[in-house]
Copies of this chain bind each other. A is one copy, B any other.
Amino acid sequence: MTVTAPRGFRAAGAAAGIKTDGSPDLALVVNDGPADVAAGVFTSNRVCAAPVLWSRQAVADGALRAVVLNSGGANACTGEEGLADSAATADAVAGLLGAASHDVAVCSTGLIGERLPMGRLLTGVEAAFAGLSADGGADAARAIMTTDTCPKTAVFAGEGWSIGAMAKGAGMLAPALATMLVVITTDAVITAGQADTALRAATEVSLNRLDSDGCQSTNDTVLLLSSGASGVRLGTREFAAALTAVCLDLGRRLLGDAEGSSHDIEILVRGAASEADALEVGRAIARSNLFKCAVFGNDPNWGRVLATVGTTRAVFEPAELDVSFNGVTVCRGGAIGEDRSLVDLRPRRACVVVDLHAGEEQAAIWTNDLTYGYVRENAEYSS
C-alpha cells in the first residue's frame, strides 16, 4: 500500500547495485494522473545535496509526474558532476515516461562526498520502471532504507479519497527535516497552492519538530503528489488536517527507529509567553547530551533540564519552573519537588513537561536518548 494506496499511483523498488550488499536501493513513484499536482519542502541546510538543488527547481511549478529515489549514496558535496548526475537520473525517468525532465524529482540518501555509480543506477531505473505496479508501494518503501531497521509507511483513509506515505530516516533527524526522505501521495483533488500550504503547515508541526540528534542533513526532502484520481475535491483545512495526521504518524515511526536509541522522548513546554519560546526551550533540551544520557540511564534528572532552560532567551523566572517526568513533578518552583524515585523511565516512551509559568502557549519537540548504540552506529558508519 503506502504511496500506492491512493488511486493513480504506481511504484516499484529495485536492487541497482548502488549498495554493495545487494539489497534494494532504488525506488520509483509515478503519478498517472489525471492531475500532476505537487509540492515539496527541503532541508534548510546551506550545504545541500545535488538532488535537493534539482528537485527544488523541479517542483517549483507545482507539478511532478514522478519521483526517483536511491539509497546507498547521498550525492552531496559532489560538485557540478553531482548535479549532472541528478539531472541525468531525472532525464532517464522522463524518457521512459514520455515526460519532461523537470517533471521528475530526484532524492538520494547515503554517504556524503562520493559520486553515485551512474551506470548501475540508470540500469536500476529501467528495472524499476519495468516493475512499476499499483501495489509496488511496499517495495519502494524498502528500497529507500539506509540504517533504518524497518520501512516506514502511513496511510489516511478519507471518504472516497486517501493519503499514502513512505519515509526513511534514522539519524540526523533535526529541525528542517534532517536526513529524511518522505514521499506522500493522495488522490484528492487539490490545487498546487493547496498542496503547498497544506504541506508546509503539516510538516511545521510534525516532521519539523523531530530532533533526534541535533544534526541537520544535506538531503532532506518531503514531497507531496496528488493524482486527483478520486475526483473528491477537498478544502485546504480538511486536507491539511489529514496530512498532519499522516506526518505525525511518520514522525513517530522515524523517532521509534532512530539510530541506537532506547527512548522516544516527548518534551512538552507549556506556560510559555509565546510558541517561539516554547519551541526554543524544547529544542534546547532535545539537544542537551547530558539530558539525553540521563534518560538513557532512566534518571529523571531535572537539574539538567533546568540548566538547559537557563541557556535560552525564553521568558521565565528560575524560581517558577516546574518539570515533570512521566507525570511526576520532580521539580517545583525551580527546586526539589516530588520524590524522583517515583518516576519509572523504563518504558520506551518518555514524556517530559516543562512549565515556564510565563504565559499560555505551548509546543512539543520529540527526540531520542543518547546511547552506546548511537555512538556505535555513528562512529562506525560513515554518512
Q: Are the CB atoms of B216 and A311 closer together than 8 Å?
A: yes
Give the contacts of A299-329 with B (CB-CB under 8 A).
Answer: 299, 301-304, 306-312, 316, 318-319, 321
Q: Does A289 sit within 8 A of B, measured CB to CB?
A: yes
Nearest residue (CB) in B for A46 is B310
CB neighbours (8 Å) of A218 from chain B are: 303, 306-307, 310
Chain A binding surface SS class: loop
Contacts of A77 in B (CB 8 A): 302-303, 306, 318, 331, 334-336
Contacts of A238 in B (CB 8 A): none
CB-CB under 8 A from A307, the residues of chain B are 45, 47, 76, 112, 172, 215-218
C-alpha spacing A311/B46, complex, angstroms: 6
Contact of A290 among B82, B215, B302 (CB under 8 A): B215
Complex interface bits, A143-183 against B, C-beta within 8 A gives 1, otherwise 0: 00000000000000000000000000001100000000000
Within 8 Å by CB of A319, from B76, B79, B299, lies B79
In the bound complex, CA of A318 to CA of B46 (Å)? 7
Q: How many copies does the complex hold?
A: 2
Given contacts A112-B303, A172-B290, contact A310 B382 (CB under 8 A): no
Which of A46, A216, A287, A374 has the most chain B CB atoms inside 10 A of its CB? A46
Quick check: is A242 within 8 A (CB to CB) of the other chain?
no
Question: Is A48 on the interface with B (CB-CB < 8 A)?
Answer: yes
Cβ–Cβ contact B319 & A370, under 8 A: no
A303 to B304, CA, bound (A): 31
Contact partner of A213 (CB less than 8 A), chosen from B289, B296, B310, is: B289
A113:B302 contact, CB within 8 angstroms:
yes
Given A45-B307, A77-B334, 18 new contacts (CB under 8 A)? A47-B309, A47-B334, A74-B303, A77-B303, A77-B318, A79-B334, A112-B301, A112-B306, A113-B331, A113-B335, A113-B336, A172-B307, A213-B289, A214-B289, A215-B288, A299-B379, A304-B383, A372-B372
